[in-house]
């Protein structure tokens, strides 16, 4: 019991770092990804092509490769980032690609009849987007988006490989010192779970709420 109490502050520090990384990644990825996703659906050809390439390429590369590329690769072209910045940049690049894809899916899964109907009662492009498509897209966006939040929290454990003391690395450090592996890993797992479980519940609730 004492070992939990002794290590808890250290682990909580790690948890805080994990949340900080995941939080900033998601925030930046939303700001970049949603407009880019809309551009992928509604934009002109010359905007769609690079976005399509970006989303496909980045999603097709392991996150770990992205991390190492940004942290160990970019210095070769005089881009030196701190481990924390590099971690956020790499994870954000991935998350943005994912959100572009989720946004695209949310809009493109709306039946074309909705646009036809909106056009036939005289709605212009802007009104069709704001009044008809966007409200329906939000409902289709939320469930996969929240699943992707869960992925971000879990996936952020990779940043420990750049020496960032997140929950994962703080666990390993504590275990390295105390040699008590099983209970501490269990505790770490529970801490990840305690973040992600409410998100999963929220996702299921939203799915139910938005059936119409």
Does position 139 bind another protein by CB under 8 A? Answer: yes
Vertex 105 angle, CA 25 and 24, to 5°: 5
Name the token pair of 47: 């905007």
Phi, psi of 44 (to 5 degrees): -75, 165
Task: Determine, following the binding rule CB under 8 A, whether residue 77 of this chain makes contact with another protein.
Answer: no
Which pair of tokens denotes residue 208? 């139910």
- State the nearest-atom distance from the C-beta of 188 to another protein, in Å: 42
- Rounded to whole angstroms, the Cα distance separating 144 from 102 reads 7
Regarding 118 and contact with another protein (CB under 8 A), the answer is yes
State the CB neighbour count (10 A cutoff) for residue 126: 8
User: Which is nearer to another protein, 31 or 47 (by Cβ)?
Assistant: 47
- How far, in Å, are 34, 178, 180 from residue 65 at the CA level? 24, 32, 31
Cα 210 from Cα 37, distance rounded (Å): 21
Tell me which stretch binds another protein (CB under 8 A): 45-53, 81-89, 128-136, 175-183. 128-136
**Among residues 9, 44, 124, 176, the one that binds another protein under rule CB under 8 A:** 124
Asked if 44 touches another protein (CB under 8 A), the answer is: no
Number of residues that bind another protein (CB under 8 A): 20
* Smallest distance, another protein to C-beta of residue 41, A: 16
- Joined tokens for residue 198: 């409410």
In the complex with another protein, the residue whose CB is nearer, 76 or 211, is 211
Taking the least distance from each CB to another protein, the nearer of 59 and 209 is: 209
Q: Kindly compute the dihedral angle of the four CA atoms of residues 11, 15, 17, 23, in this order, to the nearest 10 degrees.
A: 180
Site for another protein in 163-202 (CB under 8 A): none
Pick the closer one to another protein by CB: 69 or 210. Answer: 210
Of 93-112, which residues contact another protein (CB under 8 A)? 111
**Distances in whole angstroms, Cα of residue 165 to Cα of each of 12, 49, 73, 82, 200:** 11, 38, 21, 13, 26
Q: Between residues 27 and 130, which has the closer beta carbon with respect to another protein?
A: 130
- Residue 127 binds to another protein (criterion: CB under 8 A): yes
Residues forming contacts to another protein in the complex (CB under 8 A) are 111, 113-114, 116-125, 127, 131-132, 135-136, 139, 212
């Amino acid at each position: 019991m004492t070992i939990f109490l002794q290590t808890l502050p250290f682990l909580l520090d790690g948890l805080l770092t994990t949340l900080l990384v995941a939080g900033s990644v998601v925030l930046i990825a939303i700001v970049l990804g949603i407009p880019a996703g809309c551009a992928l659906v509604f934009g002109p050809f010359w905007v769609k092509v690079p976005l399509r390439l970006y989303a496909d390429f980045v999603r097709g590369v392991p996150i770990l490769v992205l991390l190492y590329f940004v942290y160990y690769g970019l210095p070769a072209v005089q881009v030196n980032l701190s481990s924390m910045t590099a971690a956020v940049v790499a994870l954000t690049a991935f998350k943005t690609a994912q959100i572009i894809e989720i946004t695209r899916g949310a809009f493109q899964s709306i039946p074309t009849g909705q646009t036809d109907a909106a056009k036939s009662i005289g709605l212009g492009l802007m009104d069709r987007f704001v009044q008809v498509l966007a409200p329906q897209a939000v409902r289709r966006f939320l469930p996969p988006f929240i699943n992707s939040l869960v992925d971000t929290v879990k996936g952020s454990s990779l940043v420990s490989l750049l020496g960032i003391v997140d929950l994962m690395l703080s666990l390993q450090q504590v275990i390295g010192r105390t040699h008590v592996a099983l209970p501490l890993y269990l505790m770490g797992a529970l801490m990840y779970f305690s973040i992600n479980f409410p998100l999963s519940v929220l996702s299921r609730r939203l799915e139910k709420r938005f059936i119409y």
